[in-house]
Amino acid sequence: MNSKKTKTCLVTAAGQGIGRAIVDGLLSAGHKVIATDRDVALLEGLIGVEKCEVHELDVTEPAAIAALSHYTNTVDVLCHCAGYVDSGTVLDITDAQYDFNFQLNVQSAVRLAQAVLPGMVSRNDGALIFISSVASAIKGVPNRSIYGTTKAALLGLSKSIAADFVAEGIRSNCICPGTVETPSLSERIAESGSDIMAQRKEFIARQPMGRLGRAEEIAALAVFLSDPMAGFMTGQALAIDGGWTI
Ligand code: NAD
């Protein structure tokens, strides 16, 4: 296994929330970061930052992933953060919703893994980090049917990569956050149509610690997983959830 300290890291959905905190954490740890997002305007603050490159990438577009092949060949660490939190029970899932959620939350992860793995295998070193959720194979969460289904699929994908490439120096792990303070959480609360303060209290109450997670706390785990010190850890689903799944 190659244990070089400075890694080249590709981060998706790096414009805000957990993805952005991971970019900041990896840069602080001295790594080189390729920060990508569908909304390139959200990446403006990273332009000109030392060791950071910025690229537009909609992870649901195979051509956009292929266009980054020059970079994906060199990637030591993939942090795949892009995902969508859809609502509803199984009775609500339409075919279009099913396709959209699987495309964004699962198929993108398959395509990105296919893009970065050959280079990682040739160097006998690589770490894949997928942002799943405790709403997955870990916990059933009301009104999150298609979300939990896709995030559970991500656990299966990560474990299969871990099993298939363990002899080639590749590690693959999932981070499974509880409820984290991010722009998308605020949007979900605003769009719920109900009392905003009451909704927020409900989200907070899910964590026995009585608070929301911070994106930096999720990022710290991603930085650890990218480090050779995490070199004995693979195929895991790591919950970081304020005690939600105790
Ligand atoms: P966020 O809304 O704060 O940020 C999402 C980012 O994703 C935005 O910058 C957006 O432009 C980008 N994005 C959206 N679609 C994209 C696409 N097709 N291609 C590339 N970029 C795209 O989100 P967040 O809350 O930080 O969530 C990040 C990840 O963490 C998601 O996978 C989410 O499911 C997961 N997660 C979040 C929470 C939470 O409570 N916030 C909990 C568990 C898991």
Residue-by-residue pLDDT tens, the chain, 246 positions? 455 789 999 999 999 999 999 999 999 999 999 999 999 999 999 999 999 999 999 999 999 999 999 999 999 999 999 999 999 999 999 999 999 999 999 999 999 999 999 999 999 999 999 999 999 999 999 999 999 999 999 999 999 999 999 999 999 999 999 999 999 998 888 887 778 899 999 999 999 999 999 999 999 999 999 999 999 999 999 999 999 999
DSSP structural state of residue 243: T
Q: Quick one: 193 exposed, middle or buried, by C-beta within 10 A (0-12, 13-18, 19+)? A: exposed
Residues 6+ apart with CB under 8 A from 56: 36, 37, 38, 40, 43, 64
Q: How far is CA 241 from the centre of its chain?
A: 15
What residue ranges line ligand 1, CB within 6 angstroms?
12-13, 15-19, 37-39, 42, 57-60, 81-83, 85, 104, 131, 133, 177, 179-180, 182-185
Residue closest by Cα to atom 5 of ligand 1:
13
Q: How far is CA 9 from the centre of its chain?
A: 13
Give the atom of ligand 1 at the shortest distance from the alpha carbon of 212: 40
User: How many CB atoms are located within 10 Å of the residue 48 CB?
Assistant: 8
> Structural domains in the chain?
8-180+214-240 (3.40.50.720)
Q: Supply the pLDDT for residue 1.
A: 47
How many whole angstroms from 42 Cα to the centroid of ligand 1?
13
Q: What is the 3 state secondary structure string of 166-219?
A: HHHCEEEEEEEECCEECHHHHHHHHHCCCCHHHHHHHHHHCCCCCCCEEHHHHH
Q: How far is CA 149 from the centre of its chain?
A: 16
Sign of the CA dihedral 5, 171, 108, 13? negative
Q: Supply the pLDDT for residue 59.
A: 98
The rounded radius of gyration (Å) of the Cα atoms in the chain is 17
- Rounded CA gap, 165 and 174, in Å? 16
Give tens-digit pLDDT for 157-195: 999 999 999 999 999 999 999 999 999 998 888 887 778
- Rounded CA gap, 19 and 79, in Å? 8
- Rounded CA gap, 213 and 241, in Å? 7
The residues facing 15 across adjacent strands are none
19: closest CA among 7, 30, 33, 5?
33
Q: Which tokens hold the place of 45?
A: 């603050």
User: How many CB atoms are located within 10 Å of the residue 203 CB?
Assistant: 17
Residue closest by Cα to atom 36 of ligand 1:
133
Give tens-digit pLDDT for 67-84: 999 999 999 999 999 999
Q: Supply the pLDDT for residue 188.
A: 85
Residue 147 annotated in active site: yes
Residues 6+ apart with CB under 8 A from 35: 11, 14, 19, 23, 43, 46, 52, 53, 54, 55
Q: Supply the pLDDT for residue 189.
A: 87
